[in-house]
Amino acid sequence: MNKMISIIIDGKEINAEEGRALLWVALENDIFIPNLCAIKEKARPSASCRLCFVEIEGHPRPVTSCTQTVADGMVVKTRTPEVDRLVTTAFELLLSDHRLGCSKCPKNKACALQRIAKERKLKLKPKRLNKFVKDYPIDDSVDVFVLDRNRCVLCGRCVWADHHIAKVGAIGFSQRGIKRKVSTFGDKLLSDSSCIQCGECVKVCPVGALSFKENHKDKV
């Protein structure tokens, strides 16, 4: 274990192990920082969701807290106008590409997007940006779970779980840019892939893109 150091987040003094990622130190001390793509066990964070911005004294601009390791005496603010602006825009961008209809979503009330909206007082239906129309067919070809890409936020947690927890390699990212999506090799149905239906990917999905079929019963 590294030596313990002390940092200040939002005025609160916190003891933490030197070298750990700021995001996890904050979350473990009940300080909420929005995040979707962060995985504690992953050595090098993907830093792709761009939600965990904070301001650190000495840095000219907000930085992502998942990529920042804590150092003694660090002074962090999780809410400043600059941070809020970036988080709001990132959140609105993600929502502009996310199929809503929470009441019909198996993740309703357990959804990371809903949590962020509540904590940061953000709207789930922002008016500033147009909504992109996504119409991916829902893949319910396997017995245990359903993959609905229209609700996917491309955080990559499922892909990581599939590769590092389940060690199966049934899914990965395909395409690029706006077409980027989670898919099986050759973009086949899950039932035609090497998926073993272990459900590890479903457990880590922060939104309603991957859900167990048993949670669907009271929906639709």
Partner 1 sequence: MSDKKLQVEKKYLDIKTKAEEIIPLKEDKTVVMVGTATCGKAAGAIDVREAFKEEIKKRELNAEVVEVGCIGHCYAEPLIVISKPGFPSLCYGNVDEGLSKMLVENYLEGDDPCYEFALVALEPNEEFPTFTDFPRGAYEGKIILEQCGLIDPEDINQYISVDGYHALVNALGMEPGEVIETIKESKLRGRGGAGFPTGKKWEFCANAKDPVKYVICNADEGDPGAFMDRSILESNPHQVIEGLIICGYAVGASDGFIYVRSEYPQAVRRINAALEQAREIGLLGENILDTGFNFDIEVFLGSGAFVCGEETALINSMEGKTGMPRHRPPYPAEVGFRGNPTIINNVKTLSYVPHILLKGVDWFKGIGTPDSPGTAVFALVGKVENTGLVEVPMGTTLRSLVYDVGGGIRNEKEFKAVQIGGPSGGCLPESALDLPIDFDSLQEAGAIMGSGGLVVLDENDCMVEIARFFLDFTQKESCGKCTFCRLGTKHMLDILKEITIGQGKRKHLEILGELALDIQNGSLCGLGKTAPNPVLTTLRYFMDEYEEHIQGRRCPALMCPELINFYIVPKKCSKLCSACVGSCPVEAIYTREDGLKAIDLEKCVKCNSCPAACPPEYDAIIKVSPPERVEELEKENA
Residue 46 is a binding residue for partner 1 (CB under 8 A): yes
> Interface mask (CB under 8 A) for partner 1, residues 62-91, using x and -?
x-x--x--------------x--xx--xx-
Tokens representing residue 215 in the block: 């949670």
For residues 175 and 164, what is the distance between their CA atoms, to the nearest angstrom?
Answer: 22
Max Cα separation, the chain?
53
Q: Which of 33, 35, 38, 45 binds partner 1 (CB under 8 A)?
A: 45
- Asked if residue 41 binds partner 1 (CB under 8 A), the reply is no
Q: To the nearest whole angstrom, how small is the minimum distance from the Cβ of residue 29 to partner 1?
A: 23
Q: Is 93 in the site for partner 1 (CB under 8 A)?
A: yes
Rounded Cα distance between 17 and 52, Å, is 20
- Among positions 133-192, residues that touch partner 1 (CB under 8 A) are 154, 173, 175-180
What residues from 106 to 125 belong to the interface with partner 1 (CB under 8 A)?
Answer: none
Question: How much is the CA Rg of the chain, to the nearest whole Å?
Answer: 18
Residue 219 is encoded by which pair of tokens?
Answer: 């929906």
Residue number, 134 or 203, with CB nearest to partner 1:
134
Rounded to a whole number of angstroms, the minimum distance from the CB of residue 97 to partner 1 is 6
- Beta-carbon contacts of 86 under 8 Å, excluding residues fewer than 6 positions away, are 50, 53, 62
Question: Is 50:89 a contact under the CB 8 Å cutoff?
Answer: no
Q: Which amino acid is residue 191, in one-letter code? A: S
Q: Which residues bind partner 1 (CB under 8 A)?
A: 44-51, 53, 61-62, 64, 67, 82, 85-86, 89-90, 93-94, 96-97, 128-130, 132, 154, 173, 175-180
